Amino acid sequence: MKDLMGRAIWDYFHGENPQDIQTETSISDLDELPIAYLFRSFNEMNAIERKALELSTGSILDVGAGAGGHSLYLQNERNKEVTALDISPKAIEICKKRGIKNTICTPILDYYGQTFDTILLLMNGTGIFECLTKIDVYFHKLSALLNPYGQILIDGTDILYMYDRDEDGGVFIPAEAYYGELDYIVHYKGETEEPIKWLYLDFETLRNVAVHHGFLVEKLIQEQDSYLARLTRINP
């Protein structure tokens, strides 16, 4: 892995000629991601993020922490015990330099450690599931990392709107796979990361999978095509 996202975070923090990241998916063209966006303050975050951070309690695992904005707010402003987890070594180094006390650099599936009261997955948190055929593996891991009366706060986006429609309103979607399964590609400073599998999951599909794994699911916020959900065990 070239860790282009981590390099961009590193460059921005150190003032080493940072440039905006470019991203694309298997169904969308190049888009600009300003690197400063990853360093935004709580007041600059969207309503879904702010609500999730306000509801985070107890010991917290911030999955896909990136530059650490969510973890920093929880640690410094709410005095919470939070652990920032990311697969990017450079991103985790910046989390440390920004003052985050507890950090882990590993894929979530490879983490074996303490359990948590809140597991936080934001900025299309369902993306880490990769595809529907692997979602059960991730739910088993999240369940194993969650304390009996804990909660999972996760956001997602239904991307059905991105597909073309016919005159009668029917949607042209691929027949061979779930429409939210995409290849996600990052470009930075003329280099291109290998595509990763990234899952955009509609709420009803998330709810059905979560219920199958013994969770009660609440939709807390709906913002256009995105939502925030809270998952708690049906039988702690």
pLDDT in tens, 65-109: 999 999 999 999 999 999 999 999 999 999 999 999 999 999 999
Domain enclosing residue 54, as ranges: 44-177+205-233
Q: How far apart are CA 11 and CA 58, in angstroms?
A: 33
Whether 94 is covered by a domain: the verdict is yes
* Helix or strand run (H / E) with residue 50: helix 47-55
Query: What's the first-to-final CA gap in the chain, in angstroms?
Result: 38
Q: Is residue 30 part of a domain?
A: no
User: What pLDDT does residue 165 have?
Assistant: 65
133 in a structural domain: yes
pLDDT of residue 27: 86
Provide, rounded to the nearest whole percent, the portion of the chain with pLDDT above 90: 88
Domain count, the chain: 1
Residue 229 lies in a domain: yes
Which CATH number characterizes residue 77's domain? 3.40.50.150
Q: What is the pLDDT of residues 209-231, one digit of tens each?
A: 999 999 999 999 999 999 999 99
What would the mean pLDDT of 41-60 be, rounded to a whole number? 98
CA-to-CA distance for 236 and 233, rounded, in angstroms?
Answer: 5
- Does residue 134 sit within a domain? yes
What are the tens digits of pLDDT across the range 51-65?
A: 999 999 999 999 999
Q: Which residues is 198 bridged to in the sheet?
A: 182
Residue 95 lies in a domain: yes
Residue 210 in domain: yes
Q: Global pTM?
A: 0.94
